[in-house]
A and B are shown apart, each in its own frame.
Chain A
Amino acid sequence: MSEEFMGYERPKGKVGIRNKIAVIPSVICVNRVAQQIANKIENGVAITHPLGCGQFGPDYTYTLRTLVGLGSNPNVYGVIVVGLGCENLSNKLIAKNIKRSKKPVEFFNVQDVQGGTAAAIEKGVKIGKEMADQASELKREPFDFSHLVLGLECGGSDSISGITANPAVGVVSDKIVELGGTSILPEFTEWIGTEHLLSKRAVNEKVAEKITNTLNNFLENILQYGIDFRGVQPTPGNIEGGLTTIEEKSLGTIAKAGKAPIQGTLEYSEPPKSKGLWLMIEPGLDVESMTGLAAAGAQIICMTTGRGSPCGNPVAPVIKLCGNPQTCDWMASNIDVDSSKIITEDKTIEDIAAVLWQKLKATCNGEKTYAEVLGFEDLAIWRCSAAPFQILQSK
Chain B
Amino acid sequence: MKNKYIIMNAEDNCATSLADIPKDEIIQIPEDNIKINHDIPMGHKFALKNINQGDLIKKYGQIIGIATEMIEVGDWIHTHNIKSHYLERVANE
A joins B in a complex: yes
Most chain B CB atoms below 10 A, which of A163, A244, A346: A244
The answer to whether A246 and B1 touch (CB under 8 A), given A160-B43, A342-B18, is no
- Interchain Cβ contacts under 8 Å between A and B, 14 examples: A193-B87, A241-B43, A242-B17, A242-B44, A243-B43, A244-B79, A245-B82, A245-B84, A246-B84, A246-B86, A248-B59, A251-B64, A252-B60, A343-B42
Is A255 positioned at the interface, with any CB of B under 8 Å from its CB? Answer: yes
**8 more A-B contacts (CB under 8 A) besides A160-B43, A194-B62?**
A163-B8, A163-B16, A244-B45, A244-B77, A245-B84, A245-B85, A343-B19, A346-B2
Is B23 positioned at the interface, with any CB of A under 8 Å from its CB? Answer: no
Docked pose: A248 CA to B61 CA in angstroms: 11
On whether the beta carbons of B43 and A244 are closer than 8 Å, the reply is no
Binding site for A on B (CB under 8 A): 1-3, 6, 8, 16-19, 41-45, 59-60, 62-65, 77-79, 82-87, 90
Is A230 positioned at the interface, with any CB of B under 8 Å from its CB? Answer: yes
Residues of B within 8 A of A255 (CB): 60
CB distance from B54 to the nearest CB of A (A): 15
Report A174-203 CB contacts with B as 1/0, cut-off 8 Å.
Answer: 000000000000000000011001000000
Residues of A within 8 A of B43 (CB): 158-160, 163, 241-243
Q: Which of A160, A241, A248, A345 is close to B64, meaning CB atoms less than 8 Å apart?
A: A248
On whether the beta carbons of B60 and A344 are closer than 8 Å, the reply is no
Docked pose: A234 CA to B2 CA in angstroms: 29
Residue of B whose beta carbon sits closest to that of A347 = B3
Is A247 positioned at the interface, with any CB of B under 8 Å from its CB? Answer: yes
Residues of A within 8 A of B16 (CB): 163, 242
Residue of A whose beta carbon sits closest to that of B90 = A230
Residues of A within 8 A of B17 (CB): 242
Most chain A CB atoms below 10 A, which of B82, B85, B86: B86
Docked pose: A255 CA to B85 CA in angstroms: 19
